[in-house]
Structure formats: structure tokens, C-alpha cells
Amino acid sequence: MRTLTSIDELDFAATMPAPVMVQRTTDHALLEGTLAGDEDAFAELVSRYRNQITSYIYRMTNDYDGAVDLAQETFLRVYRAASRYQTTHAFSTYIYRIATNLAISELRKRKRRRLVSLTGLLASDDGQEARDFNPPDERPLQDIDLVDAEKRAVVKRAIATLPDKYRAPLVLRDVEGKSYDEIAAILRTSEGTVKSRINRARNFLRDKMRSYI
């Protein structure tokens, strides 16, 4: 009689069913389903992109409630214009373009309303060179978490002071991790322009956060 030395020798693998390959429905297929009246397809689309879009708009506008509102407006526009959607671009490019347009128009509205932000209190007349409202403390801090939290706050404030045309490509590249060609498609501009704007945005941030780098 043969003695089993390991559980593998029971050969369970042969009797186990093969793993089912769950094929993920493409965004285009979901949008077609939405167009055909399938509410679940649209719900799936929303669940895929709601966090990304909310986060992206939040990085652009620095206002959570407003970002949620604009994210919903983004999905509403996708729903309304589902019949006009063309599959020449990726759906993510399409939805990010809508979100970008909404975020930029919101930023312009704010400028018109002349909202006074705390970070912009000490901004110069051209609105581009804002001094830090809360200058960094040069002394070493004890708690590393506090340091990280402060760094993040500074980065947020610094991004918020970027001009609109630099802010969108920088957030898409360094926060959302999009490729240059994707960013160019979202912003409807050339790759060269995108690279140039990202470079300028980084230089701008470097100057503002020199103490933290």
C-alpha cells in the first residue's frame, strides 16, 4: 500500500472545475447597453469611474462637495449624450474630457465671482505667484505622520494656486497617472504642449515647495 506523503498526491486538482474566466465588459459595450435602456449597464459604468472622476475634480477644484456635484453632472452628461458618443476614443478619455471641461468652467466661475480663498489671500495681482499662507516650519518635527500630513496640505495648496492650463495636465499626469497621448486627447491639444505645460507646472511647484523637497 502506497503511503501518501503530501496532500497534492490526492490529485484534487483534476476533479476541481477550471477557473471561470470572467470577461470584463468593455466601457463601450456598457455604454451601448445604456443606450438600449439597460440601467444596470450605466450603473456599472458609474461604479467604475465615480471615484476616479470625483478624485480628479477634487484635485482640480479643491472642494469636495463641489467635486461630487460636478462628478454627478459629468455622469449626467454622459447619460444624456450616450447616443452621440463615438468610439474613436477610449471612454475614459471621453469622460475625463467632460470632467475637465466642467472643472475648468467651475474655476472660471469662481474667478468671476472673485471668491477669496485662504491660500490666495497673499497672492499677487497676476494671481500666479501666491505666497504661502502657512510658511513651512523649518524645525524638525517629532511625528512623521504630522510631517506627511503637512506635506500633503502644502502640495494641495500649491496645486490649487497653479493656473488652470497647467493644473489639469499636471493632475492628470502625476496624480491620475495618465499617459501623454491620453492627456493630449482629453485636453484636445498636442502632446508637445502637454509636455511643456507639465514641465512648467513642475517647475512652478518646485519653487513653491522648495523647503519640502
Partner 1 sequence: MNSRECRETRQEIEESKLHQRLSVPAFRHIETCRACQEFQLERTRLRELIGSLEPVAAPGDFDVRLRARIAADRQQSARGSFFNRFVVSTPAIAAAAVMVMLAGAIVWLAQHQKNQQSTIASGAPARTEQAITPSAKRAESTDATSPTVPAATNPGVTLIAEAPRGRNLYRDSSGRSGGDRRPIASATDFNVTGAESIRQGEQQAGEVSLSAPVKPLVVSLEDVSGTKRRISLPPVSFGSQRLVDNRLPVSSTNSRSW
Q: Where along the sequence are the contacts to partner 1 (CB under 8 A)?
A: 43, 46-47, 50-55, 58-59, 64, 67-68, 71-72, 75-76, 79-80, 148, 151-152, 155-156, 159, 170, 174-175, 177, 180, 195, 198-199, 202, 205-206, 209, 212-213
* Backbone angle region of 37, left / alpha / beta, with phi > 0 → left and psi within -120 to 50 → alpha: left
Which of 43, 141 has the CB closer to partner 1? 43
**Which segments of the chain does DSSP mark as H helices, in order?**
12-15, 27-35, 39-61, 64-80, 91-113, 144-160, 164-170, 180-187, 191-208
Q: State phi, psi for 85 to the nearest 5 degrees.
A: -70, 135
Which of 9, 207 has the CB closer to partner 1? 207
Which of 23, 130 has the CB closer to partner 1? 130
Which of 111, 153 has the CB closer to partner 1? 153
For the CB of residue 111, give the shortest distance to partner 1 in the complex, in Å.
23
For the CB of residue 177, give the shortest distance to partner 1 in the complex, in Å.
8
For the CB of residue 73, give the shortest distance to partner 1 in the complex, in Å.
8
For the CB of residue 2, give the shortest distance to partner 1 in the complex, in Å.
51
Q: How far apart are CA 199 and CA 186, in angstroms?
A: 18
Which of 79, 116 has the CB closer to partner 1? 79
- Selection from 25, 21, 175, 23 nearest residue 91 by Cα: 25
Q: How far apart are CA 21 and CA 62, in angstroms?
A: 40
- At 210 the three-state DSSP class reads helix
DSSP conformation class of 211: G
For the CB of residue 122, give the shortest distance to partner 1 in the complex, in Å.
22
